Amino acid sequence: MRVFNFSAGPAVLPEPVLQKAAAEMLDWHGSGMSVMEMSHRGKEFISIAEKVEADLRALLAIPTHYKVLFLQGGAIADNALVPMNLLRGRSVADYVNTGEWSKKSIKEAGKYCAVNVAASSEDKKFTYVPAQDTWKLSSDAAYVHVCTNETIGGLEYQWTPDTGELPLVADMSSHILSRVIEVSKYGVIYAGAQKNAGSAGLTLVIVRDDLLDCALPITPSVFHWKEQSAAESMLNTPATYAIYIAGLVFEWLQAQGGIAAIERRNIAKAQLLYDYLDHTQFYANGVRKEDRSRMNVVFRLSDETLDEAFLKGAKERGMVQLKGHRAVGGMRASIYNAMPVEGVRALVEYMQDFEQRNG
């Protein structure tokens, strides 16, 4: 029996995606091969890769002057690869610090340039997104970096920063494809695929074409955006199976009605959980209401000694991976696109039941 999997990533996938992958495992579309066995330069895989890119472009309405790259290494690799590719002779980059993932990005960028922390919500334990009028941008920064959904802290930008001429770079790993975004506001968007775009090992990079060709000479070729763009992300063998799985997820998203439709569902799912959290003293979410993540709902039991019993009871009811990240403790329910509303309802019912028995 399938469980309700609240993992922050790798995370739950739509069951129809897994069923299709299983059915096609030994023979994709009569080719006599698994997708895993296909030469990345063969016509079968090229047809898959082209459709995956076209579907992603359609889902996110990516303008034609943006390139889409399918790379490897995840967002943590991009913490290094962004400055490598984007410094353009400048020596400083601006970063907004909204939590653990921002901190990782800042630390890694420090290997390549001076980092100006333009704004931070560390003063209040990362429970809010600093308003843009408080940001102190450098006059000579190469770019401004934000993490638009903090998976660990459960914080999400519900608005799009406007950095004018300065390229805006966003780590969207944990909420890409969960909501409508305006790509043209960004210089670069990057995201690990293992939350809303399939399986781990694939990184999506969306780059405005005037920012493609600025990489430092020390940039490894496979992470040089211009070289990879010229090679259609096939300068090295790409993560072919992960690309195929992403494609199945994109087809599933289209069948759900696209991003606007999935966003409405995500709002409703998050609302279910937050509404309950706001009407109980037994659990608490400390994030400012307008900055709460729709994808990662963090909460604490008022009595932490009950944490283990809570997790055990959840598991017995087929709900797993609710433990918060070790960096912050507490609980976390990641409710990505593929988490059905039934999973969220089951969680709220269990939380109510647990409260009645222990409150």
User: What residues line the site for its own copies (CB under 8 A)?
Assistant: 1-3, 5, 7-13, 15, 18-19, 21-23, 25-27, 31-34, 36-40, 42, 72-77, 79-81, 108, 111-112, 192, 194, 198-202, 217-218, 220-223, 235-242, 245, 318, 320-321
Cα torsion through 145, 7, 71, 32, rounded to 10: -160
- Choice among 28, 101, 225, 252 that is catalytic: 101
CB of 192 to its own copies, least distance (A): 6
Catalytic annotation on 101?
A: yes
In the complex with its own copies, which residue's Cβ is closer, 23 or 341?
23
d(CA 9, CA 194): 6
Catalytic annotation on 275?
A: no
Q: Label residues 134-168 b or e (16+ Cβ within 10 Å = b).
A: ebebbeebbbbbbbbbbbbbbbbbeebbebeebbb
d(CA 273, CA 295): 11
CB of 354 to its own copies, least distance (A): 21
d(CA 224, CA 287): 37
Query: Would the CA dihedral through 229, 60, 153, 114 be positive or negative?
Result: positive
Pick from 196, 223, 197: nearest CA to 212: 223
Catalytic annotation on 123?
A: no
Q: Label residues 69-101 b or e (16+ Cβ within 10 Å = b).
A: bbbbbbbbbbbbbbbbbbbeebebbbbbbbbbb
CB of 268 to its own copies, least distance (A): 23
In the complex with its own copies, which residue's Cβ is closer, 111 or 125?
111
User: What's the angle, vertex CA 326, arms to CA 194 and CA 356, rounded to 5?
Assistant: 100
In the complex with its own copies, which residue's Cβ is closer, 112 or 128?
112
- Choice among 171, 225, 269, 323 that is catalytic: 171
CB of 290 to its own copies, least distance (A): 29
In the complex with its own copies, which residue's Cβ is closer, 36 or 255?
36
In the complex with its own copies, which residue's Cβ is closer, 81 or 333?
81
Q: How far lies 315's CA from each of 13, 197, 260, in Å? A: 19, 26, 32
Tokens of 32: 């006599």
In the complex with its own copies, which residue's Cβ is closer, 248 or 301?
248
CB of 326 to its own copies, least distance (A): 8
In the complex with its own copies, which residue's Cβ is closer, 137 or 216?
216
- Choice among 67, 103, 195, 323 that is catalytic: 195
179 with 294: CB under 8 angstroms? yes
Which residues are catalytically annotated? 101, 171, 195
